[in-house]
Amino acid sequence: SQQGEEDPQALSIQEGENATMNCSYKTSINNLQWYRQNSGRGLVHLILIRSNEREKHSGRLRVTLDTSKKSSSLLITASRAADTASYFCATRGTNAGKSTFGDGTTLTVKP
């Protein structure tokens, strides 16, 4: 079984709508980060949530973490065409440990 599985695999919405992506994981974590990746490019850190936190906000991003369900969600509000990218969650078992990535959600925002 995989750590950090995102769903849906692909999401297509209209500009202005909200986009919600989910991530589930199997083992206990220290923290969870969400990253964005434009096609063929690098990973951009979006937001980190620690295991003792339940919700964090950053601009149009809202992340929740439910450690009892071993799941996290990323909400992008008022989406823009420029938000089109792949979004990955990555979990870490310890503060300095490796990140374990999911398969990602490909978000397409239509203008």
Partner 1 sequence: EPEVTQTPSHQVTQMGQEVILRCVPISNHLYFYWYRQILGQKVEFLVSFYNNEISEKSEIFDDQFSVERPDGSNFTLKIRSTKLEDSAMYFCASKGTTYEQYFGPGTRLTVT
42 makes contact with partner 1 (CB under 8 A): yes
Give the C-alpha separation, 73 to 92, whole Å.
Answer: 16
The three-point CA angle 3-44-42 to 5° equals 90
The residue within the footprint of partner 1, chosen from 43, 61, 64, 108 (CB under 8 A), is 43
- H-assigned helices in the chain: none
97 makes contact with partner 1 (CB under 8 A): yes
Question: Quick one: which segment of 18-26, 29-37, 62-70, 76-84 binds partner 1 (CB under 8 A)?
Answer: 29-37
The residue within the footprint of partner 1, chosen from 74, 90, 107, 109 (CB under 8 A), is 90
Q: Is 42 helix (H, G, I), strand (E, B) or coil?
A: coil
Nearest of 37, 46, 100, 39 to residue 75 by alpha carbon: 46
| CB nearer partner 1, residue 79 or residue 86 | 86
Give the C-alpha separation, 46 to 29, whole Å.
Answer: 18
Question: Quick one: which segment of 11-19, 34-42, 59-67, 73-81 binds partner 1 (CB under 8 A)?
Answer: 34-42
45 makes contact with partner 1 (CB under 8 A): yes
Residue 88 near residue 6, CB atoms below 8 Å:
yes
Residues that bind partner 1 (CB under 8 A): 30-31, 33, 35, 40-45, 48, 50, 88, 90, 92, 95-104
